[in-house]
Structure 1
Amino acid sequence: MSLTARAIFSSRVTQGWLEGQDFAPQGSGHSSSPCPTFQRILTAFQLLGLLGSMKGMTSNSVASECVLKMYEEGEINIINKTELTQFEAHFVSGNDQTQACNVANFAAVGEDSPLQRAEWIKFVGAFTNLENRANQVYKAVKDNYMCLTKFAEAKEKAFKPIVAWMEYYNGIWSFTKETYKLKYVEDAGGENVDGSINKITYNISNPDDIEELHAILCTIDILIDETYTSDPVGYTQATFLQNINIEDESCFGFVTNQSLWRYDKRIQNLTTLEDWFDGAVSQPQLVLADLIEILFPSGNYNTTYFRNIAKGEGVISIGPNMCDRNISTAMDPIIPACR
């Protein structure tokens, strides 16, 4: 039996889809009964116009205004994970779990470039008979991303800021080596600090490590702090400086020039569930536009995912009251001007 035939049969039996954080479009005539797991696929669903037919979810911890609104109004319900086997396709975002026959791995986060991550919307489109819409969305995203890249190329001729992505855990600072993040910096017209680093991790209790880390930080123009925190609202520049354990930060250009950033600007219910892990995957053009503004400030662009803690910028708490569009229609990708 073909996938389409099995999917239609499943749709008739279940009268819906399940998304694996989880959500289920109801009474749909599309080819499968998807059950995308985790935060990383919600925006793809909205861009494809699948949100209005969702039936249920296994958790209300989502960074989507309209999903939260549907849940609040009773349009979708919490569904037990033991019910997942009745659905034709169960989308997951990792391959570290037992792979049932109905599991489809949405592996966007494993890709090495921002556009490769975004292109996984085509994978979702193939499972839902929405290939044309998926191709249309990806083309719009890619075209805008490339346009922004060309704009950044013109900017970098005069100055190429040095950027570092760092995180702190259990007394140790480390520099990020994730390829897609380094690619973002390059495409935004910046230079990654990684090429000048002899090692990745630095223990703040080791004087030699502190001295070496201090020397590196003095070469950085822009720092992106990725440190996990259970209290994003309370995470400020003072928190960063305390974690760095260096008394003299006078040579830190990113402090003097107030360019210390975090990508937890959009969170749900003031928790650590960041839209960075969903919207930023499907709409990398917004991340790139943010980074161009960070590297080459114009003063007339509001960042989507990044907040400047050096200037005391706070978070935006995502709630159902922020859903201001018709959820039965496909959401168009946001296209920043190639200013």
Structure 2
Amino acid sequence: MAARTKYCTSRLKSFVVPLSNYSADTYRFPVSFFELLGLLVNMKGMTSDAVASECVLKLLEEGEIKLVGRNESQQLTQFAAHFTVETDGAQGCNFANFMPFGEQTSLQRAEWIKFLGVFANLETRANEVYSSVKENYLCLARAAASKAKFKPVVAWMGYYDGIWTFTNDSYKLQFIEDAGGENIDKSINKISYNISSPDDLEALHAILCTVDVIVDETYTLDPASYNKSTFLENIGIEDSSCFAFLSNQSLWRFDRRVQNSTVLDWDDGAVSQPQLVLADLIEALFPTGNYTTTFFRNIAKGEGIISISANMCDRNASTPLEPTMLACQS
């Protein structure tokens, strides 16, 4: 048999599939895609323990996966492929760019499982997973649209360096609409407000008096200590009489699942399984009290975080993770 020819040019790379092994640049890399395909057994290297996967952490702890320096280019050549979400800087011939974060909708982000499936001859499995996720997501969206008697107004916002900004990320805005809500950004003339400016602060408070639900995406080094008091201090609220989101206790963050205080499953499992995000938001907008959220926590009710650790892996890591399908009737 003729030897397989591999190519590596500025425009073309080739890989021998299925991959015998691979590594990943695990700084903000959604390893849950590998889990859904059942590929953790072939993962032999990672550049950081900054992952939100219990089973990847367990394999690292057991020595099945080795830590490799992300700048150690020679060490990275030992792997048949090295997956990364970073496109800056020099890349080796075995680098494969995995880019779900560049997509505009949550389902487009989830569809990147098909890209990974090609590297393992698992196109059928990838298509099945994506189809299940998409079908469940769309069913939940239809159900939310049909049962909503009114559309709660939602402000998805974050605080950075003294400035509150309403999100303009399209996939977040789409999540709110698909959950049956209305985004605040459709009714305001600017998205950023400096709390050191009395006029800005007054305008911001006036806007928030029209809001039913808030998603606070403010970055913090210590999610466990970020609570309702932190939010109120950051936003300068003293008299809470006009704020429905406070009287209704609907103040949310997406840092419920976190590893080592800084690694959020929002950047991992929430990318590969957006139907769980949508279900969380439907509960936030139309609370039933009988659904436990996966990624979101309600800090208005004092809900805390879940710390992800290796001892939480309760399944065989060599088998595919089945996507969570939520009961839905539309």
Shared fold per TM-score greater than 0.5 = yes
1-side partners of 2:25 and 2:115: how far apart? 16
Do structure 1's residue 327 and structure 2's residue 293 form an aligned pair? no
With normalisation by structure 1, the TM-score equals: 0.89
2-side partners of 1:171 and 1:277: how far apart? 25
Aligned to 1:55: 44
Distance 1:114 1:10, change over 3 A: closer
Do structure 1's residue 116 and structure 2's residue 121 form an aligned pair? no
State the one-letter code of the partner of 1:165.
Answer: W
**Aligned mate of 2:282, from 265, 286, 292:** 292
1-side partners of 2:135 and 2:96: how far apart? 28
Do structure 1's residue 263 and structure 2's residue 254 form an aligned pair? yes
Aligned to 1:251, the other structure's residue is in SS state coil
2:36–2:322 CA contact under 8 A, matched in 1? yes
Cα distance per residue 1:174-204 (max 9 Å; x no partner): 0000000000001011000001111111000
1:223–1:254 CA contact under 8 A, matched in 2? yes
Number of residue pairs matched?
317
Runs of 4+ in 1 over 6 A off after TM superposition: none
Cα distance, 1:6 vs structure 2: 4.6
Cα distance, 1:52 vs structure 2: 2.1
**Aligned mate of 1:132, from 114, 124, 137:** 124
Aligned to 1:267, the other structure's residue is in SS state strand
1:10–1:86 CA contact under 8 A, matched in 2? no
Do structure 1's residue 104 and structure 2's residue 96 form an aligned pair? yes
Do structure 1's residue 280 and structure 2's residue 270 form an aligned pair? yes
2-side partners of 1:89 and 1:289: how far apart? 35
Aligned to 2:134: 142
**Which sections of structure 2, spanning at least 5 residues, go unmatched?**
8-12
Aligned to 2:10: none
1-side partners of 2:194 and 2:314: how far apart? 47
Matches within 5 A, 1:16-165: 16-21=21-26, 38-81=27-70, 82=72, 83-156=75-148, 158-165=149-156
2-side partners of 1:317 and 1:46: how far apart? 19
Distance 1:190 1:76, change over 3 A: same
Aligned to 1:202: 193
Aligned to 2:55, the other structure's residue is in SS state helix
1:155–1:296 CA contact under 8 A, matched in 2? no
2-side partners of 1:8 and 1:281: how far apart? 25
2-side partners of 1:277 and 1:10: how far apart? 25
State the one-letter code of the partner of 1:91.
Answer: F
Instruction: Flag the structure with more relative contact order, 1 or 2, with Cα contacts below 8 A and sequence separation at least 6.
Output: 2
Distance 1:324 1:90, change over 3 A: same
Cα distance, 1:41 vs structure 2: 2.7
**Which sections of structure 1, spanning at least 5 residues, go unmatched?**
22-37
The RMSD of aligned alpha carbons is 1.8
**Aligned mate of 1:214, from 205, 215, 221:** 205
Do structure 1's residue 7 and structure 2's residue 16 form an aligned pair? yes
Cα distance per residue 1:262-299 (max 9 Å; x no partner): 00000013x12100000000000000000111111111
Distance 1:6 1:312, change over 3 A: closer
